[in-house]
């Protein structure tokens, strides 16, 4: 085996030790006993690799939701978090603060609009009173209608800006707007600083990372609301309150954060608000309908981290009691229509070939490319899910030979997006031979008229109705396809 394979094996062994300790410790209701049990069992399984392999397989194959969420939150547990933060790259600024909601809250009405394929611009209802945009460095109470974000920057910066203070804002090419992964149920801006701090060092750009509320305590639309409100707040207030005069804003997210990033872009398109100037997606979760099976989902049957049971737990926790997410782009951005995808910003993708989410990512790349969106991707042959979190400079963590390449590629992609001059809609249409906006609007109107005609049902006999149902079902069965991009 290569050095990289040995490093990956050690990395996943450490994760499995944690999984086993979590599985044992969750049996205790008392917090003190849980911590003692976790520490003791971590040592026990560390010294017994065969038992670790057996026990972790049982746990990963059928975890309880509580244990699965606790395992994914290990990096944010007290003891491990302290050790993790001690190993992080040095950065001048890494501060969390709270920002108020400044626009219409995403509610069931907006969700239903997407579910019913209503993609026209809806009102943004931006709060106009500047005083109600003021950030707070202390946690406000109550927390309703406030979102928590982190600013990472490797240059001196005086913020928050006090009203009437002298001085001019710092001019920057772009702000990187980051949404962390963790299956909607775990992790934070802090747990992803192993690479966001390195981005800050190498790009010399400010990074805003959102600490959105987590499911299942906070199902959709709460996590998405935090991300959307933070995005609008940054666009409206970065110059006035953060002392940052930016030209572009690049949105990026990994895993669940990739889902929220894509949904954020779709909401910006629908509401007529500022669309990000670029987007980077790292192993994104683009389809939350677990009934749509892809070939790459087979990897989830034996994946060392992301089993199919985990996927279902995370999706169910985030969706909550919402309608079926099968065709709602706010849950499953892969289902967004071409008319919306054509407005996507230039997009970059990082994906592992062994990732259970591989096929959905490749489909999204294909759809965006067909829609005329400048798109780029890097696929790593031997990597599975969550590889960005494998980059760690700590001597206490297993080192994976060559893993730094994923950091370098991400920085390269972000740099390209910052420098890229986006094509206008007309330029895209010309290059890709698309219809003009006027022709497209006419086509949409014609399609609507056809749908209205179809809604008019003539009187038919029961025999004719049954025959039509059989033909419809036959057509559906014939057109179901599951293409693989392996």
Residue 239, pLDDT > 60, answer: yes
Q: Which is more confidently placed, 171 or 30?
A: 171
Please report the pLDDT score of residue 78 as a whole number: 74
pLDDT, average across residues 385-409: 80
Q: Of 311-320, 342-351, 447-456, where does mean pLDDT reach its minimum?
A: 447-456
Please report the pLDDT score of residue 219 as a whole number: 95
Query: Would the CA dihedral through 401, 251, 266, 180 be positive or negative?
Result: positive
Tell me the pTM. 0.85
Of all residues in the chain, what percent carry a pLDDT higher than 70? 83
Nearest to 414 by CA among 346, 342, 332, 331: 346
Angstrom distance (rounded) from CA 474 to CA 348: 38
Of all residues in the chain, what percent carry a pLDDT higher than 90? 53
Nearest to 2 by CA among 423, 459, 400: 400
pLDDT, average across residues 170-197: 96
- Rounded-to-10 torsion of CA 98, 102, 105, 111: -100
Please report the pLDDT score of residue 464 as a whole number: 58
- State how beta strands 375-380 and 347-352 pair: parallel
pLDDT, average across residues 234-244: 95
> CB neighbours (10 Å) of residue 468?
11
Q: Taking all residues of the chain, what is their mean pLDDT, rounded to a whole number?
A: 85
> CB of 274 within 8 A of CB of 235?
yes
Highest mean pLDDT among 5-9, 14-18, 330-334: 330-334
Residue 115, pLDDT > 60, answer: yes
Nearest to 357 by CA among 435, 290, 284, 449: 284
Q: Which is more confidently placed, 169 or 453?
A: 169
Digit-coded pLDDT (tens) for 260-275: 999 999 999 999 999 9
Angstrom distance (rounded) from CA 169 to CA 146: 25
Digit-coded pLDDT (tens) for 334-345: 999 999 999 999
- State how beta strands 278-282 and 207-211 pair: unpaired
* Residue 186, CA distances (Å) to 70, 130, 251, 321, 349 in order: 8, 33, 20, 20, 22
pLDDT, average across residues 409-414: 97
> CB neighbours (10 Å) of residue 255?
27
Residue 482, pLDDT > 50, answer: no
Return the CA Rg of the chain: 24
Q: Which is more confidently placed, 107 or 464?
A: 107
Nearest to 360 by CA among 415, 303, 311, 429: 311
pLDDT, average across residues 116-133: 79
Angstrom distance (rounded) from CA 315 to CA 292: 13
Please report the pLDDT score of residue 401 as a whole number: 75
Neighbouring-strand partners of residue 282: 254, 350
Sole residue written with tokens 């809806």: 122
Digit-coded pLDDT (tens) for 289-323: 988 889 999 888 888 888 988 999 999 999 988 77
Helices 256-271 and 108-115 sit at what angle, rounded to 10 degrees? 90
Phi and psi angles of residue 42, each rounded to the nearest 5 degrees, phi first: -60, -45
Residues constituting the chain: 486
Please report the pLDDT score of residue 314 as a whole number: 94
Please report the pLDDT score of residue 374 as a whole number: 96
Question: How would you write 338-369 as a 3-class SS string?
Answer: HHHHCCCCCEEEEEECCCCCHHHHHHHHHHHH
Residue 34, pLDDT > 60, answer: yes
């Amino acid at each position: 085996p290569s050095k990289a394979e040995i490093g990956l094996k050690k990395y996943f062994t450490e994760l499995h030790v944690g999984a086993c300790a979590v599985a044992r410790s969750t049996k205790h209701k008392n917090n003190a006993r849980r911590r003692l049990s976790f520490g003791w069992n971590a040592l026990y399984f560390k010294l017994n690799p065969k038992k670790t392999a057996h026990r972790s397989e049982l746990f990963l194959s059928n975890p309880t939701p509580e244990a699965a969420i606790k395992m994914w939150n290990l990096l944010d547990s007290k003891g491990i978090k302290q050790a993790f933060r001690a190993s992080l790259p040095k950065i001048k600024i890494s501060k969390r603060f709270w920002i108020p909601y400044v626009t219409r809250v995403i509610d069931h009405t907006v969700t239903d609009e997407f579910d019913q394929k209503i993609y026209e611009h809806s009102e943004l209802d931006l709060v106009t009173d500047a005083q109600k945009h003021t950030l707070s460095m202390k946690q406000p109470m109550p927390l309703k209608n406030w979102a928590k974000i982190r600013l990472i920057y490797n240059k001196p910066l005086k913020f928050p800006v006090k009203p009437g203070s002298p001085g001019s804002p710092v001019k920057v090419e772009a702000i990187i707007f980051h949404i962390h992964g963790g299956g909607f149920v775990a992790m934070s801006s802090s747990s992803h600083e192993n690479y966001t701090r390195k981005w800050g060092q190498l790009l010399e750009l400010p990074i805003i990372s959102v600490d959105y509320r987590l499911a299942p305590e906070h199902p959709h639309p709460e996590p998405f609301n935090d991300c959307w409100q933070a995005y609008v707040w940054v666009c409206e207030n970065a110059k006035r309150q953060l002392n940052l005069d930016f030209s572009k804003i690049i949105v990026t997210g990994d895993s669940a954060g990739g889902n929220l990033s894509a949904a954020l872009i779709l909401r910006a398109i629908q509401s007529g608000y500022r669309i990000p100037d670029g987007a980077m997606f790292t192993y994104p979760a683009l389809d939350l309908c677990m009934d749509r099976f892809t070939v790459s989902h087979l990897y989830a049957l034996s994946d060392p981290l992301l089993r199919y049971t985990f996927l279902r737990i995370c999706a169910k926790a985030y969706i909550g009691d919402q309608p079926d997410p099968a065709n709602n782009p706010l849950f499953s951005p892969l289902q967004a229509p071409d008319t919306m995808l054509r407005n996507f910003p230039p997009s970059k993708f990082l994906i592992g070939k062994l990732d259970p989410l591989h096929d959905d990512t490749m489909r999204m790349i294909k759809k965006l490319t067909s829609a005329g969106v400048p798109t780029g991707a890097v696929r790593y042959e031997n990597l599975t899910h969550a590889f960005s979190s494998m980059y760690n400079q700590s001597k206490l963590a297993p080192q994976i030979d060559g893993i730094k390449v994923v950091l370098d590629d991400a920085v390269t992609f972000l740099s390209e997006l910052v420098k890229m001059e986006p094509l206008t809609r007309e330029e895209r249409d010309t290059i890709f031979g698309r219809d003009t906006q006027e022709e497209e609007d006419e086509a949409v109107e014609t399609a609507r008229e056809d749908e209205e005609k179809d809604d008019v049902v003539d009187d038919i006999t029961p025999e004719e109705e049954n025959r039509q149902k059989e033909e419809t079902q036959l057509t559906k069965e014939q057109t179901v396809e599951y293409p693989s991009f392996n």
